[in-house]
Amino acid sequence: MKSFNPGPEHAAELRAALGTFTTGVTIVTTSMKVTNGARPIGMTVNSFTSVSLDPPLILWCPALVSARHDSFVAAEHFAIHILSDAQRDLAQHFARNGDDFTDIAHHIDDHGVPLLDGCVTRLDCRTERVMQGGDHSIILGRVLRAHQADANALAFCAGKFGRFSEGT
């Protein structure tokens, strides 16, 4: 087992160590205000967790250096889409192209938030609070409505996509 003290000189090692924790894969969407209205944006995220059932709260953490950071921090409403194991390409797409919804199956809700089709779960949220957390912001959201389908979730661990399978 390799040991180190986290710091700038060990950033890659810390990222690799944290990456050994298997997570689900989500895409967070909202609408970005532009001069002539709003434009949908999305971001692939695995820094997502439930916080509370009563009240229903979740959190996720966009990086300060992300070009989409400020739009998400300013958003009043957003949606968390927990991806199915058939949506790996979608995860990769929104990791690279946050404002390209061309050929992406979606519709827009009453708040202007793009809602993606085919996800395992979708959580429609309102921003409760935004806090600073090192090189990320922490966005606390209240779940206003939840939608769940019968599908297998996409997983991510050590830089690779996969899926959960029960052992025998």
Q: Is residue 160 part of a domain?
A: no
HSE of 128 in the Cβ direction (CA atoms, 13 Å)? 16
pLDDT for 17-57, tens place per residue? 877 777 889 999 999 876 677 789 999 998 899 999 999 99
User: Is 8 within the bounds of a domain?
Assistant: no
Q: Where are the alpha helices (DSSP H) in the chain?
A: 11-18, 69-74, 88-96
Residue 75 lies in a domain: yes
131 lies in a domain? yes
Total domain count, the chain: 1
Please compute the mean of the pLDDT values over residues 141-148 and round it to a whole number: 97
For the record, the structure tokens of 4 come out as: 């180190």
* pLDDT tops 80 at residue 89: yes
Residue 78 has pLDDT above 80, yes or no: yes
Residue of 103, 104, 130 whose CA lies nearest to 117: 104
Whether residue 38 is contained in a domain is answered as yes
HSE (CB half, 13 Å, CA atoms) of 35? 0
Which domain range does residue 45 map to?
Answer: 23-151
Burial of 161 (0-12, 13-18, 19+ CB in 10 A): middle
- Terminal Cα distance for the chain, rounded: 28
Indicate if the pLDDT at residue 114 is higher than 90: yes
Would you say residue 119 lies in a domain?
Answer: yes
Dihedrals phi, psi of 88, to nearest 5 degrees: -60, -45
Q: What is the CATH number of the domain that holds 125?
A: 2.30.110.10
- The answer to the question of residue 163 being in a domain is no
- The per-residue pLDDT for 26 is 95
Please report whether residue 80 resides in a domain.
yes
